[in-house]
């Protein structure tokens, strides 16, 4: 009986602590303005990682990563296929030392308190309907890389693939690497589409593979179309399409 009370006390304490952390996050997010930020906030990035780890543990996601031992140092443009809303969440945790900031649809910035946190971590909304506005975001992304503020994550498909097949790429996103003079790292995500289906009954195993690294020198010598074609070919080979 004493042991049971101890367990209940520990569980109750953890629940209370999580609730307190959630309340603190909500309150602090109220002071974040709806604008783009040029400085990555270490405090808000800590909150981002804290809640990411909490989600990974709660949802029971088992992550396997391959090919990440020889990644270049410094800021990078990360590109990946897109199968699930969990793709960027897991990606910014796996490659956390690069301080990833994703280009995302503007609706994500309206999610309560979460949208505020990612703003302070230099995430940016990209206007898919207006090429001029999209180019402004691309230029700003390159500037953040050059200032060594964050690395940038993008999905060249532009949206999630509901069929899981790799969709055509928008070559324009590779202009970020050309302007910033940085390497491009290509990643594939597998299994993330099962997370929502498996929770809460079972855990989900996901895999992230680094399939190609286009060096800064190669980026300088290749066109955006050539970079896009190379990266896409590597992804297709890895995905077995």
Domain boundaries along the sequence of the chain: 1-31, 35-239
Provide Rg for the chain, Cα atoms: 19
What's residue 137's pLDDT? 95
| Strands across the sheet containing 77-80 | 61-66, 204-214, 184-190, 77-80, 151-154, 100-104, 124-125
The number of beta carbons lying within 10 Å of the beta carbon of residue 89 is 20
Q: What is the pTM of this model?
A: 0.91
Quote the tokens at residue 66: 């391959």
**Tell me: the pLDDT tens digits for 75-123?**
999 999 999 999 999 999 999 999 999 999 899 999 999 999 999 999 9
Q: Which bin fits 67, alpha (ψ -120 to 50), beta or left (φ > 0)?
A: left
Three-point CA angle 45, 158, 80, nearest 5°: 60
Report the percent of the chain where pLDDT is more than 70. 93
The end-to-end CA distance of the chain, in Å, is: 57
What's residue 12's pLDDT? 61
Candidate ranges 6-20, 42-56, 128-142; pick with highest mean pLDDT: 42-56
Q: Which CATH class is domain 35-239?
A: alpha beta
Q: d(Cα 141, Cα 123) in Å, to the nearest integer?
A: 9
Average model confidence (pLDDT) for the chain?
Answer: 92
């Amino acid at each position: 009986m004493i042991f049971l009370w101890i367990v209940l006390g520990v569980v109750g304490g953890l629940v209370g602590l999580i609730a307190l952390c959630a309340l603190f996050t909500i309150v602090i997010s109220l002071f974040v303005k709806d604008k783009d930020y040029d400085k990555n906030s270490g405090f808000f990035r800590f909150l981002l990682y804290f809640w990411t780890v909490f989600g990974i543990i709660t949802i029971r996601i088992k992550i396997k990563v391959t090919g990440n031992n020889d990644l270049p140092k410094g800021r990078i443009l990360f590109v990946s296929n897109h199968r699930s809303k969990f793709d960027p969440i897991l990606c910014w945790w796996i490659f956390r030392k690069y301080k990833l900031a994703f280009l995302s649809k503007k609706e994500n910035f309206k999610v309560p308190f979460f949208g505020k946190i990612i703003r302070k971590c230099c995430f940016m909304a990209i206007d898919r309907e207006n090429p001029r506005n999209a180019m402004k975001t691309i230029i700003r992304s390159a500037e953040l890389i050059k200032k060594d503020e964050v690395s940038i994550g993008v999905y060249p498909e532009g949206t999630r693939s509901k069929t899981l097949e790799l969709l055509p790429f928008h070559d324009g996103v590779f202009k970020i690497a050309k302007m910033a003079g940085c390497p491009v790292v290509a990643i594939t995500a597998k299994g993330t589409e099962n997370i929502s289906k498996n929770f809460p009954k079972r855990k989900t195993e996901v895999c992230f593979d680094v399939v190609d690294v286009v060096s800064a020198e190669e980026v300088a010598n290749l066109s955006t179309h050539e970079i896009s074609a190379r990266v896409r070919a590597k992804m297709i080979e890895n995905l077995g399409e």
